[in-house]
C-alpha cells in the first residue's frame, strides 16, 4: 500500500501508457463485435504479426546501437507503415479464410469462435515455426536472421533510450511514454471522426445496427465487414509499433495475454463502443498497475480477469454501454 | 467430406450386419437372442488388452505405449466431460483445464503436500472439490451472454494457474512432488502377472516384460490405463443414462433455444449449472488420475493451450455425440505421440484442421443425432421461407 502511495504518479502514468496500447488493440475487438457480434479471437495474433513487422523492417534498414527517440524517428516512421500494412493484411486474411464462409452460412456463433481460435493457432504457429517453413521453401539461407530461433523472443535491433521531459508529482515522464499516450489519443480521435463523418463510417454503423436493412439501403455488407477488419488491423499495427517502442521485444506467443486484456478493456468500456474501448483500456492499464503495486507484480495478470468478471456481473453492457449502431460514436 | 463419411457408413453397415448374421448361429447355440452384446464385450476386452498386445502400426516405438494409452485415456475422459458442457448444454468453456488442475491439485494436497490420504479416498474428495468449483464459477457467470462465457471461463483457467503459482500452500512455482500411486490391491507381485507380446520378428512372441495386475508401480503404466479405462466405461454408462433422461432433454432444449425452453417450464439456469458442475466433476476426475500417475504436478502442467486442445477434441469429433468426442480425443492425444517426428507441427495442423472442419462440416466429424435432426429441420424451414419469397 505504501508503495502505491509513494509511486502513485509513476504507476498512473505507466498504467496510462499500457492502457493506450490495450485501447488500440481493443478497437479491433470492439469494431468486429459491433458489426458481427463475434469475438475475433485471432485479433491478438494480428497484433503479434505487427510487432514482428517492426523488428524485421528495422533489421532490414540496418538500424543498430542505441538512439534517442528523435534520432530513431525516421526508422520508426517506416516501421509504423510496415506494421500497419502487415497487421492490416493479416486481418484481411483472417476475415477471408476464418470468417467469410461461416458468416455467410449464418453458422452458430461458437462455431465461428472455434474457427477464429484455429486461425489464432495457425498465425502464432506459423510465426513460431518460421525457420522450418523457410527451410521447407528453401529460403533459410536468404532469410537467415529473420527466421532463426523462432521460439525465442526477438528484440528490436536498435535500443531506444527514453529521456525524461516532464515532471508530474515525483515522477519524470519520459518522451516515449508521452509519445505513446498522445499517438493513441490521436488515433482514437481520427477513428472516431472517421466512423462518425465519412460515408464508410456511416455504412459500418448501419450494418452494425441492422445488417439486412443496411444492405437494402445499398451498403455492401461483405465490404463493410472487410473494412472493419482492416481498420482493426491498422489500429493493431499502430499499437504494435508503440508497444515495440515501449517494450522493445516480442515473441510468437506475445499476442495471447495482451489480446485477452484488450478484449477485457473492450468489454469494460462497453463492447461495440469506440470511446468505451479507450476508457476501458486506460482504466485497465491503471488498475493493473495499482493492483501489482498493492499485491505484488505476480498478481498483475489476474487483475484483468477479476475485473472482467466483476464488470460482467455488475454492468454487463460495460461502462459506456454497448452497440456500435446505437452509440453515436 | 460429408459424402465420404456417409458413403463409408453405408458401406460398413452391411458388413457389420453380415458379421452379425454370420455369428447368429453361434449365439443361438449359446442361447443368446442377439450377438450385439457379446461383440461389444469382445471389443472392450480388446481395448483392455491393447497395452499388452503392442500391435504393430498402432504401437508407439519411441515412447512407452501404455503411457501413451494412459494419456489418450485422460483426454478421452476430459472430452466426455467437456462434451456434456459444450455438446449437450451448448456452453463454450475455454477454461476446462482449470477443473483438471483443481482435481490434480486436490489429490496432490491431500496425499502428499498436507496429508497422507490414500488415493481412493482422495479421489471422491477431488470430485467434490471440482464440482464445488464448477458451481462457484458457474453461478455468477452462467447468467452472462454465451459468448462472454468463453472469455470468462478462459480467465478462470488462467486464474487457477496463477493462483497455484503464487500460493506457497499449493507448492508455489515448484509444484507438488511425490504424489503417491494408488495403493496396490493384493500381494506385492500383483494378483497375477500377464506377459506382454513382442512383434520384433514380425510374428507375436512372448516378451519378458510382465504387467502385475492391480499393482500400481512407477515403471509400468498398464494398470493405470486399466484404471482409467474402467472409469471411462463407467462414465459412458452414466452419460448414456443422463442423456436419455429428463435432464438430457432439458439440456438439448436449452441448447437449441433458451427462451423457448424457459417458456416450456425448463429452469434453464439450473440445468446449465448442473451441466457445468458435472463437466467439472469429470474434468477433475481426469486431473486426479493424471496426478497420481505422473506423481508430480506444477503450474506449467496446466497451460491454457490444454483447454484449447480439449475443446478442439470435442469439436473435431462432433460436439453432442459422445463417440464423436471420444474419437476427437483419441485423434488429438494419440496422433502426435504416434507421429513424434511431426510433433512440432501439431498446433499448426490443429489450427488448420479446426478452420477446415468447422468451415466444411460445421457439426464436426460425427455430429450427434439430435443435432443432425435440428440442422435438417432448419434447412427445411429455410427452404419453405425461400419458396415463399419466390411466390
Q: Count CB-CB contacts under 10 A for residue A299.
A: 16
Predicted local distance difference test score (pLDDT) of residue B304 = 83
When scoring B138, B145, B147 by the number of chain A Cβ atoms within 10 A, the one with the most, hence best to mutate, is B147
Beta pairing, strands A159-161 & A66-68? parallel
Selecting from B140, B147, B355 the residue whose C-beta is nearest the C-beta of A39 gives B147
Who wins on pLDDT, B68 or B59?
B68
Q: What is the pLDDT of residues B184-231, one digit of tens each?
A: 777 777 677 788 877 777 777 777 777 777 778 777 888 889 999 999
Nearest residue on chain B to A118, alpha-carbon basis? B351
Q: Domain map of chain B by residue range? A: 63-181+220-383, 183-215
Phi, psi of A174 (to 5 degrees): -90, 160
Computed over every residue of chain B, the mean pLDDT equals 83
Judge whether A7 is closer than 8 Å to chain B, CB to CB.
Answer: no
Are B356 and B124 a contacting pair, CB within 8 Å? no
C-alpha B73, offset from chain centre: 7
Are A299 and B162 within 8 A, CB to CB? Answer: yes
CA nearest B103: which of B293, B328, B327, B311? B293
- Rounded (to 5) percent helix, strand, coil in chain B: 70, 5, 25
Q: What is the pLDDT of residues A10-41, one digit of tens each?
A: 889 999 999 999 999 999 999 998 888 888 88
Q: What's the CATH number for B63-181+220-383?
A: 1.10.3470
CA nearest A251: which of A130, A168, A107? A130
Has residue B83 got a pLDDT over 50? yes
What average pLDDT does range A159-184 have in this prediction?
Answer: 86
* Continuous segment of H or E residues that includes residue A266: helix A255-269
Who wins on pLDDT, B81 or B344?
B81
Are A118 and B152 within 8 A, CB to CB? Answer: no
In chain B, what residues touch A121 (CB-CB under 8 Å)? 308, 347-348, 350-351, 354
Has residue A326 got a pLDDT over 60? no
Q: What is the pLDDT of residues A195-247, one digit of tens each?
A: 989 999 999 989 888 888 888 888 888 899 999 999 999 999 999 999 999 98
Q: Count CB-CB contacts under 10 A for residue B177.
A: 13
What average pLDDT does range B6-35 have in this prediction?
Answer: 65
Distance of residue A254 Cα from the nearest chain B Cα, in angstroms: 14
Q: Domain map of chain A by residue range? A: 24-253
Judge whether A133 is closer than 8 Å to chain B, CB to CB.
Answer: no
Are A121 and B163 within 8 A, CB to CB? Answer: no
Please report the residues numbered 242 through 261 in chain A whose beta carbons come closer than 8 angstroms to any beta carbon of chain B.
256, 260
Are B304 and A256 within 8 A, CB to CB? Answer: yes
In chain B, what residues touch A108 (CB-CB under 8 Å)? 362
In DSSP terms, B195 is beta-bridged to B210
Are A39 and B345 within 8 A, CB to CB? Answer: no
Are B131 and B196 a contacting pair, CB within 8 Å? no
Residue with cell 473492450: A266
Predicted local distance difference test score (pLDDT) of residue A327 = 44
In chain B, what residues touch A304 (CB-CB under 8 Å)? 155
CA distance B173 to B165: 5
Q: What is the pLDDT of residues B233-279, one digit of tens each?
A: 999 999 999 998 999 999 989 888 888 999 999 999 999 999 999 99
Contacts of A178 by beta carbon, 8 Å cutoff, 6+ apart: A165, A166
Are B162 and A37 within 8 A, CB to CB? Answer: no
When scoring A26, A98, A118 by the number of chain B Cβ atoms within 10 A, the one with the most, hence best to mutate, is A118
Are A109 and B146 within 8 A, CB to CB? Answer: yes
**ipTM for the complex shown:** 0.84
Q: Count CB-CB contacts under 10 A for residue B243.
A: 21
Judge whether A110 is closer than 8 Å to chain B, CB to CB.
Answer: yes
Selecting from A97, A115, A263 the residue whose C-beta is nearest the C-beta of B151 gives A263
Confidence band of B22 (pLDDT split at 50, 70, 90): low
Are B155 and A304 within 8 A, CB to CB? Answer: yes
Predicted local distance difference test score (pLDDT) of residue A312 = 77
Are B73 and B333 a contacting pair, CB within 8 Å? no
What average pLDDT does range B89-102 have in this prediction?
Answer: 91
Are A26 and A281 a contacting pair, CB within 8 Å? yes
Tell me the range of A99-113, A313-327, B103-117 where mean pLDDT is highest: B103-117
Predicted local distance difference test score (pLDDT) of residue A85 = 96
In chain B, what residues touch A107 (CB-CB under 8 Å)? 358, 362
Please report the residues numbered 158 through 217 in chain A whose beta carbons come closer than 8 angstroms to any beta carbon of chain B.
none
Phi, psi of A263 (to 5 degrees): -65, -45
Are B354 and A132 within 8 A, CB to CB? Answer: no
The pTM for the full model equals: 0.83
Has residue B360 got a pLDDT over 70? yes
Amino acid at each position: 500500500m505504501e508503495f502505491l502511495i509513494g509511486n502513485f504518479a509513476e504507476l498512473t502514468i505507466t498504467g496510462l501508457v499500457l492502457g493506450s496500447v490495450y485501447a488500440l488493440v481493443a478497437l479491433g475487438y470492439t469494431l468486429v463485435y459491433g458489426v458481427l457480434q463475434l469475438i475475433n479471437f485471432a485479433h491478438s495474433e494480428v497484433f503479434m504479426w505487427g510487432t514482428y513487422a517492426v523488428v524485421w523492417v528495422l533489421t532490414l534498414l540496418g538500424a543498430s546501437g542505441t538512439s534517442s527517440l528523435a534520432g530513431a524517428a525516421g526508422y520508426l516512421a517506416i516501421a509504423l507503415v510496415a506494421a500497419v500494412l502487415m497487421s492490416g493484411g493479416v486481418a484481411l486474411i483472417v476475415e477471408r479464410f476464418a470468417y467469410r464462409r461461416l458468416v455467410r452460412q449464418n453458422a452458430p456463433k461458437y462455431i465461428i469462435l472455434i474457427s477464429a481460435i484455429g486461425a489464432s493457432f495457425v498465425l502464432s504457429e506459423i510465426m513460431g515455426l518460421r525457420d522450418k517453413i523457410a527451410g521447407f521453401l528453401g529460403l533459410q539461407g536468404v532469410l537467415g536472421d529473420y527466421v532463426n530461433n523462432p521460439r525465442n523472443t526477438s528484440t528490436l535491433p536498435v535500443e531506444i533510450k527514453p529521456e525524461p521531459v516532464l515532471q508530474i508529482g515525483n515522477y519524470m515522464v519520459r518522451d516515449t511514454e508521452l509519445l505513446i499516450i498522445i499517438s493513441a489519443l490521436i488515433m482514437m480521435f481520427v477513428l472516431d471522426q472517421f466512423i462518425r463523418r465519412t460515408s464508410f463510417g456511416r455504412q459500418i454503423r448501419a450494418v452494425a445496427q441492422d445488417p439486412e436493412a443496411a444492405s437494402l439501403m445499398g451498403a455492401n455488407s461483405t465490404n463493410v465487414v472487410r473494412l472493419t477488419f482492416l481498420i482493426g488491423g491498422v489500429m493493431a499495427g499502430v499499437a504494435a509499433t508503440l508497444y515495440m517502442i515501449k517494450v522493445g521485444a516480442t515473441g510468437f506467443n506475445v499476442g495471447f495475454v495482451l489480446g485477452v486484456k484488450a478484449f477485457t478493456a473492450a468489454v469494460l468500456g462497453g463492447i461495440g463502443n469506440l470511446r468505451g474501448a479507450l476508457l476501458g483500456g486506460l482504466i485497465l492499464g491503471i488498475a493493473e498497475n495499482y493492483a501489482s503495486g498493492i499485491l505484488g507484480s505476480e498478481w498483475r495478470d489476474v487483475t484483468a480477469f477479476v475485473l472482467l468478471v466483476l464488470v460482467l456481473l455488475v454492468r454487463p453492457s460495460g461502462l459506456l454501454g454497448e452497440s456500435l449502431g446505437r452509440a453515436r460514436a | 467430406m460429408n459424402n465420404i463419411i456417409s458413403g463409408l457408413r453405408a458401406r460398413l453397415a452391411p458388413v457389420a450386419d453380415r458379421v452379425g448374421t454370420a455369428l447368429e448361429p453361434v449365439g443361438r447355440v449359446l442361447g443368446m437372442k442377439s450377438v450385439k452384446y457379446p461383440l461389444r464385450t469382445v471389443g472392450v476386452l480388446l481395448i483392455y488388452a491393447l497395452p499388452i498386445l503392442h500391435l504393430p502400426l498402432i504401437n508407439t516405438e519411441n515412447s512407452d505405449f501404455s503411457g501413451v494409452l494412459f494419456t489418450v485415456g485422460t483426454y478421452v475422459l476430459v472430452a466426455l466431460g467437456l462434451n456434456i458442457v459444450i455438446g449437450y448444454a451448448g456452453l463454450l468453456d475455454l477454461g476446462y483445464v482449470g477443473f483438471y488442475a483443481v482435481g490434480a491439485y486436490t489429490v496432490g494436497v491431500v496425499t502428499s503436500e498436507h496429508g497422507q490420504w490414500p488415493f481412493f479416498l482422495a479421489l471422491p474428495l477431488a470430485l467434490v472439490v471440482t464440482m464445488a468449483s464448477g458451481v462457484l464459477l458457474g453461478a455468477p457467470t452462467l447468467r452472462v451472454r454465451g459468448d462472454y462465457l468463453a472469455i470468462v471461463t478462459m480467465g478462470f483457467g488462467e486464474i487457477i494457474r496463477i493462483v497455484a503459482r503464487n500460493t506457497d500452500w499449493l507448492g508455489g512455482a515448484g509444484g507438488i512432488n511425490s504424489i503417491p500411486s494408488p495403493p496396490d490391491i493384493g500381494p506385492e507381485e500383483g494378483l497375477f502377472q500377464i506377459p506382454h507380446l513382442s512383434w520384433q520378428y514380425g510374428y507375436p512372441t512372448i516378451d519378458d516384460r510382465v504387467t502385475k495386475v492391480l499393482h500400481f508401480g512407477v515403471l509400468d503404466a498398464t494398470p493405470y490405463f486399466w484404471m482409467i479405462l474402467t472409469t471411462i466405461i463407467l462414465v459412458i454408462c452414466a452419460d448414456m443414462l443422463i442423456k436419455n433422461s429428463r435432464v438430457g432433454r432439458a439440456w438439448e432444449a436449452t441448447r437449441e433455444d433458451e427462451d423457448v425452453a424457459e417458456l416450456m417450464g425448463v429452469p434453464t439456469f439450473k440445468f446449465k449449472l448442473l451441466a457445468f458442475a458435472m463437466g467439472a466433476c469429470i474434468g477433475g476426475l481426469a486431473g486426479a488420475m493424471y496426478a497420481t500417475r505422473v506423481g508430480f504436478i506444477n503450474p506449467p502442467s496446466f497451460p491454457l493451450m490444454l483447454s484449447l486442445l480439449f475443446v478442439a477434441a470435442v469439436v473435431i469429433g462432433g460436439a453432442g455425440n459422445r463417440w464423436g468426442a471420444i474419437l476427437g480425443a483419441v485423434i488429438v492425444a494419440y496422433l502426435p505421440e504416434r507421429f513424434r517426428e511431426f510433433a512440432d507441427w501439431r498446433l499448426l495442423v490443429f489450427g488448420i484442421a479446426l478452420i477446415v472442419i468447422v468451415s466444411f462440416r460445421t457439426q464436426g466429424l460425427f455430429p450427434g443425432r439430435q443435432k443432425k435432426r435440428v440442422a435438417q429441420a432448419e434447412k427445411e424451414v429455410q427452404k419453405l421461407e425461400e419458396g415463399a419469397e419466390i411466390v
